[in-house]
Amino acid sequence: MELSGWDAAAVGAKAVTYATTLGAAGAIYFLAYCGELLQEPQRSRIRRLIGILSLTSALATGAKILLMSATISGDLAGMFDMSFAGMILGAGEGLASGVRMAGLALCALAVTSKHRFHALALVGAALASMSFAGVGHVHGLRPSIVPSVLLCLHLLCAAFWLGALVPLLITARDSRPAQIAAVAARFGKLALGVVAVLLCVGLSLLWMLIRDATPFWSSDYGRLMAAKLFMVAALLGIAGVNKLYLTPRLLQGQSKAFVQFRRTVQAEMVAGALILLITATFTTVTGPPR
């Protein structure tokens, strides 16, 4: 698999789009189910985070389209060639970007609202999360409706999990021990079901994409998918430590656990970022073998 500089830049922009969109959406879900456990300063910081991530996602979406235009011609001039941008937008990317922008605009309502969560912001978070399903290799499957719905569920769950990490870190740094413990326990309880759905749906989609196992796993797409699965396993391991070892100790008020909790959340963020980077790569520069 050869990657030009423009390909790498487009992959980077896509990864940033993933991270910021899922981050904004996940932070809104976090406020919805944990907001009442937080003090106003933490809620305010998370709302500010949502605003920053929403804006960054919108900018990254635009940058991605420009960089994808540049990959067509292989030079800077391609970035400003409107016919290239038209080709990309006229394909699924136009719909996906439109849905994402609409969702992010609704997410921004959460920034201005002083309530724990805003119903429209939740809808916006869902739209923004699912926007990536507008373009995906699953659409090559027939019928496409089932894998499309599964992909939307996968994205919603990914936003719930990965998008909670920065708010968890904010909570872990700024809140009182009892609050941190309560938030960790509530998130952990909900995450159990969400992660189960995420894995079942993800594995179902993978099963649908694999037509012949040997060519699949020996292809560039298959190797990148294997790398993603490895990182997901690592993320699950860290999450398991949080849920089964650290959270009970947080609830007991053990001071060492609070330091360890911050570190494991940071480790989850690194693993999550790598997962999104790998996903951006195999959804941009390669595809499942036919």
Partner 1 sequence: MFKQAILAAALCSTLLAGPCMAHAKLQSSSPAKDAQLTEPPKTLTLTFSEAAQIGVLKLTASGKDIPIAVDKNAKASASFTFPLPTLAPGSYTVQWTAVAADDGHVTKGSFAFSIKG
Name the site residues for partner 1 (rule: CB under 8 A): 32, 68, 71-74, 78, 81, 83-84, 86-93, 95-96, 99, 119, 122-123, 126-127, 130-131, 133-137, 139-140, 142, 144-145, 148-149, 151-153, 156, 284, 286-288, 290
Q: Is 142 exposed, middle or buried (0-12, 13-18, 19+ CB in 10 A)?
A: exposed
**Residue reference for tokens 């698999």:** 1
Structure tokens at 256: 């060492």
List all residues 6 or more positions away from 280 whose beta carbon is below 8 Å from its beta carbon: 11, 12, 14, 15, 18
Asked if 42 and 174 count as a contact pair (C-beta separation under 8 A), the reply is: yes
Whose Cβ is closer to partner 1: residue 114's or residue 290's?
290
Least separation, in Å, of the C-beta of 85 and partner 1? 10
Whose Cβ is closer to partner 1: residue 83's or residue 255's?
83
CA distances from 97 to 49, 53, 128, 195 (A): 21, 15, 9, 26
Whose Cβ is closer to partner 1: residue 92's or residue 177's?
92
Least separation, in Å, of the C-beta of 139 and partner 1? 4
Least separation, in Å, of the C-beta of 17 and partner 1? 14
Structure tokens at 56: 């960054």
Least separation, in Å, of the C-beta of 238 and partner 1? 26
Whose Cβ is closer to partner 1: residue 158's or residue 267's?
158
Whose Cβ is closer to partner 1: residue 17's or residue 131's?
131
What is the Cα gyration radius of the chain? Answer: 19
